[in-house]
Structure 1
Amino acid sequence: MLNGYIAILGCLLAGEILVYLLALPLPGPVLGMGLALVWLTRGGEAAPAPWIAASQSLLKHLALLFVPAGTGLILHLARLQGEWLALGSAVVLGTLITLAASAWLLARQIRPRGSADD
């Protein structure tokens, strides 16, 4: 399991380094998890056992990761009250776009091979 944690943290570190060196306008951990996704999906094979063990142990404590976000919401409550319409609109619109994209991708994946649309 330690190897899994090292691999996950290595991807996060690589993302941070790339963002710093290339001055990319996105968080390093987001790029790092993108790198992990590319690494894990590169051959179509299952994820290595250390990755699975490490990720399952992290998922057991997923609720704890929401505590800082909730604290931040409470800390900036006055600002949120002033911008509730924009934030609410962004959440609703983002949810609708995500649902539409997911439905489109699912429809593409379950379409029989060799259909007229291919």
Structure 2
Amino acid sequence: MSVMRGFLWLLIFLLLGQTTVELLALPMPSGVIGMLLMALWFVYRGGMNADIVHVSQPLIAMLALLVMPGVVEIFFVAGRYASQGVSIIAALVVGTLLSVLSSLLLMRRFMPRLAIDEQPDE
């Protein structure tokens, strides 16, 4: 039953993201907006929902498969954007660095701290 509740929560946030994009005419994917809303909800609650955590673990393991269609599309449209190569590379580098930084900050915020009581023997 936890899996069904987890998928229901993911669907609710996807629909909230879609509704937000449509109402505000935002030029962003509804999935991204839904994820931001879910992150804000986690911050408001002070922790993550166990059902969402349970259902998201297998999805994270398949993340490369979920990203693959967008990567393949690049090969078909690369010629259209050849003159903007420097801008695209700069956006990729800055975006990657910001993504890693935000992941680090969120992980430090929400991961439990481990107490170090004993020093390991060397």
Q: Which residue of 2 aligns with 1:77?
A: 78
CA-atom RMSD in angstroms = 2.5
CA pair 68-6 structure 1, distance change in 2 beyond 3 A: same
Unaligned runs of 5+ residues in structure 2 are 110-122
Structure 2 residue identity aligned to 1:91 = L
Structure 2 residue identity aligned to 1:88 = I
Please show how residues 3-14 of structure 1 align to structure 2 within 5 Å.
3-14=5-16
State percent identity of aligned pairs: 35
Residue 73 of structure 1 deviates from its aligned partner by: 0.8
Q: Which residue of 2 aligns with 1:60?
A: 61
Residue 18 of structure 1 deviates from its aligned partner by: 1.7
Equivalent of residue 41 in structure 1, options 32, 40, 43: 43
Structure 2 residue identity aligned to 1:24 = L
SS in 1 for 2:44: coil
Query: 2: distance between equivalents of 1:56 and 1:93?
Result: 27
CA pair 95-52 structure 1, distance change in 2 beyond 3 A: closer
Q: Which residue of 2 aligns with 1:20?
A: 22
Query: 2: distance between equivalents of 1:9 and 1:80?
Result: 34
Q: Which residue of 1 aligns with 2:112?
A: none
SS in 1 for 2:45: coil
Q: How many positions carry a matched residue from both structures?
A: 102
Query: 2: distance between equivalents of 1:53 and 1:24?
Result: 31
CA pair 87-64 structure 1, distance change in 2 beyond 3 A: same
Q: Deviations over 1:66-101 (max 9, x none)?
A: 2111211111121243321221122234445x28x6
Which stretch shows the higher mean deviation, 4-13 or 47-56?
Answer: 47-56
SS in 1 for 2:64: helix
Query: 2: distance between equivalents of 1:67 and 1:91?
Result: 17
Structure 2 residue identity aligned to 1:21 = L
CA pair 81-22 structure 1, distance change in 2 beyond 3 A: closer
Equivalent of residue 31 in structure 1, options 29, 33, 58: 33
Query: 1: distance between equivalents of 2:16 and 2:95?
Result: 28
